[in-house]
Amino acid sequence: MMKRLFWGLIPMALSGCLGWINQEVEIDLPEHKSKIVLNALLKDGDTQVKLGIHRSHGMMDEGSIKDGLPDANVQMRVNGELLERFSFFGGEDPYTAPYRIHIGDSIDVEIDAPGYASVSSSTVVPAPTELISARFGSVDRGLGSVPQREVFFRVSPPVEGKSYYVLKFAQQREGQPMRTAIQLTSNLPFITPMYPFNVGFESTPTQGTEAEIVVLVSELFYSGTQEDLESYLILETVSKEYYDYVTTFYYHYNNQSPDIFGGEPTPMPSNIVNGYGIFGAASSHMVRIE
């Protein structure tokens, strides 16, 4: 399929002068075969299963990728038992069904819709890893005028085997909502940046009760007076598939700066058979930072 792209108003410096050119480029794009996209993160304690079900879009396709896929048929089994019918209200709303998610739940899902190949996936809700303690360290100005604070924390050994974590920082003042959109960074090689604002890491032999790990927090919210301000560290234990997805998405997002031609494309992992997206699970533990 031949598509014509129009590139206009491209600044170029020619012979020391700023000139403008318009150029038409014809490229041969393969026909896009739309597939079902499933995105969901099921968390221990949630009282609803929420599934974002959409369709993939080609470069020239019309419509919004945020719109849900109508007429999808969802078959989900939790520990082998079929969950009741899912509801969908249209637009960007997810498909939902009432169910309280528990640690250890084994969840399988199959989705089909008219005109699309059926997709499937599975996940298991992991047991949480305990945060033993967390404390603040020193403060410096960081980049520009934004202060950065050290946060030291200890974690218990994984329950069994290897575990995967997403670490979040939150602050709350009485009568105001808890805020987690605060930048976390680290210079430790096993701490991986994530978009937006969080970091992740895998369990290693050094991350036991005697190991203390440090990250840096850029206080973008509540950065004035510390009076009546409580700070928390949240450790989410996540499925490996979800961990691989969110850590890769950081590089995918950065490679699009300042636009889609800013860097090399980053292949995104997916555990959706015959489709795209990610189907993951998580449990969490939170402690107040002293």
Query: Is the model's pLDDT at 223 over the cut of 80?
Result: no
More confident of the two residues 22 and 16: 22
Higher pLDDT, 210 or 93: 93
211 has pLDDT over 70: no
pLDDT tier at 66, thresholds 50, 70, 90: confident
CA distance 112 to 74: 7
Query: Partners of 40 in the beta sheet?
Result: 279
pLDDT for 12 equals 43
DSSP string, 181-226: --EEE---TT-EE-SSS-EEEE--TT-STT-EEEEEEE--SS-S--
DSSP 8-state assignment for residue 5: E
Is 148's pLDDT higher than 90? no
Determine the residue type at 138: S
pLDDT at 60: 74
User: Mean pLDDT throughout 250-260?
Assistant: 71
Does residue 157 carry a pLDDT above 80? Answer: no
pLDDT band per the 50, 70, 90 thresholds, residue 127 = very high
Task: Give the pLDDT score at 88.
Answer: 95
Most confident stretch, 2-11, 120-129, 148-157, 264-273: 120-129
Q: What is the mean pLDDT of residues 44-52?
A: 96
Spatial CA neighbour of 28 closest among 7, 5, 2, 60: 2
Output the six-digit token pair for 101.
Answer: 């998610």
Cα gap 251→263, rounded to integer Å: 10
pLDDT higher at 223 or 177: 177
Name the residue with higher pLDDT: 99 or 155: 99
Cα 172 to Cα 6, 225, 266: the distances in Å are 49, 13, 36
pLDDT band at 162 (very low <50, low <70, confident <90, very high): confident
pLDDT value, residue 10: 42
DSSP assignment of 144-193: TT--EEEEEEEEPPPSSS--EEEEEEEEEETTS--B---EEE---TT-EE
pLDDT for residue 254: 75
Peptide bond into 258 cis (omega under 30): yes
- Quote the radius of gyration of the chain (alpha carbons, Å): 23
Query: Which tens digit of pLDDT belongs to each residue from 80-114?
Result: 999 988 999 998 899 999 999 999 999 999 999 99
Residue among 248, 244, 165 nearest 202 (CA): 165
User: Structure pTM?
Assistant: 0.81
Residue 120 corresponds to which tokens in the numbers above? 């499937």
Whether residue 283 has pLDDT greater than 50: yes
pLDDT of residue 5: 44
> pLDDT grade, residue 155 (50/70/90)?
confident
**Percentage of the residues of the chain whose pLDDT score is greater than 90:** 40
More confident residue, 220 or 140: 140
Residue 240 has pLDDT above 60, yes or no: yes
Q: Which residue has the higher pLDDT, 10 or 191?
A: 191
Give residue 82's pLDDT: 96
* Residue 9, pLDDT score: 41
Structure tokens at 7: 């590139």
